[in-house]
Amino acid sequence: MRDLPPGAPVWIDCDMGFDDLAAVLMVVAAGREIAGLSLVAGNAALPQVVSNAMAARRLFGWGFPVHAGAATALNGTQVDAGYVLGATGMPSAGRQLAPCADAPDSREAVAALAGWLDAGGRVVLALGPLTNIAQLVAARPDLAARLDLVWMGGSATTGNHTAAAEFNAFADPEAVAQVIAAGVSLRMVGLDCCRQVCVTAGDAAPLRAAPGEAAALLADLLTGYARIRDPSGAVPMALFDPVAAAVVIDPASVAFTPARLDCELSGDLTRGMTVIEWRARKSAPNALIAGRPDAAAIRTLFLTGLLAAATGESR
């Protein structure tokens, strides 16, 4: 498996919940060029995901293009996380991103991403179901070998959406299987890794103390996020997408182990489960699986990234 090219521009594919937004803000704050943002249904239905992204672009002054992608999984279904995250996909203790009718770039996500890869782009940070990426490698198999994909999804142990499956994997298991089969260079940042990097509502204090509407909004969103597991916000809540963003910003922030990765498609109880064979003698590794994170360093990237966005320092 190749090293990630240091400092290279990044394409982000996401389903724009709060942890996706935080991941984008971390990459911006790190000074990394974001070549484009493509959107996929996941945390919420696609129109809500687009509204969230366009509102964030307006608020934070993003200059990169935003492209709408898949509204359903490859099999035509759509699973969202509204039962946990509410209608916007971003639970809040108060303020919400304003509904936004700005139109995304007219170029569809897969075509735009293919164009960027054709022009030499490599690093793709995927933070939602892998539908857009699967459609890309189906349409352009020649591009699969060019991609360096860092994906927040899957789990080496238990799931979150179901007992066995992580949400992004469960929402489109066929997409996970097709991306794996295409031979993409893949780093999987799964639940086991992300559950070691947590926040509580108390982490919103510096944002609450900062001036301005953006700071107040991010404080409310972080508090809402921290209350997902427990209404008090005091029980540590795992960061997901920000851990994958940290891998792109600083590859040394997470330790990876090569292994054979597959995705279960058919089990009644296990659909969307990522199955990992750690024994190379049994099956040749095809992915790098995230293990121990530098939790303190990743929390710092997350909290300083939000603060920089709130105060306009990274704009």
Stretch that binds ligand BDR, among 44-52, 165-173, 205-213, 245-253 (CB under 6 A): 165-173
Interacting residues of 269 by C-beta distance below 8 A, sequence separation 6+:
162, 163, 164
If one asks whether residue 13 binds Ca ion (CB under 5 A), the answer comes out as no
Strands (E), the chain: 10-14, 34-39, 66-68, 123-126, 148-152, 185-189, 198-199, 237-238, 254-263, 274-277, 287-293
Residue choice 4, 10, 13, 17 for contact with ligand BDR (CB under 6 A): 17
Q: What is the largest CA-CA distance in the chain?
A: 57
Residue choice 12, 13, 15, 25 for contact with Ca ion (CB under 5 A): 15
The two structure tokens encoding residue 247: 């891998």
If we measure between CA atoms, which residue out of 158, 168, 150 comes closest to residue 40? 168
Interacting residues of 216 by C-beta distance below 8 A, sequence separation 6+:
94, 95, 207, 208
If one asks whether residue 240 binds ligand BDR (CB under 6 A), the answer comes out as yes
If one asks whether residue 188 binds ligand BDR (CB under 6 A), the answer comes out as no
CA 97 centroid distance within chain:
18
If one asks whether residue 264 binds Ca ion (CB under 5 A), the answer comes out as no
If one asks whether residue 192 binds ligand BDR (CB under 6 A), the answer comes out as no
If one asks whether residue 167 binds ligand BDR (CB under 6 A), the answer comes out as yes
In Å, what is the CA distance from 278 to each residue of 157, 184, 234? 12, 19, 35
Residue choice 37, 81, 156, 276 for contact with ligand BDR (CB under 6 A): 81
Residue choice 21, 127, 165, 298 for contact with ligand BDR (CB under 6 A): 127
Residue choice 30, 74, 127, 238 for contact with Ca ion (CB under 5 A): 127
81 binding partner (options ligand BDR, Ca ion, none; Cβ < 5 to 8 Å by kind): ligand BDR
List residues bridging with 238 in a β-sheet: 198
| Residue 172 neighbours by CB distance under 10 Å | 32
286 binding partner (options ligand BDR, Ca ion, none; Cβ < 5 to 8 Å by kind): none
Stretch that binds ligand BDR, among 31-39, 100-108, 166-174, 226-234 (CB under 6 A): 166-174
Rule CB under 5 A: which residues touch Ca ion?
A: 15, 20, 127-128, 241
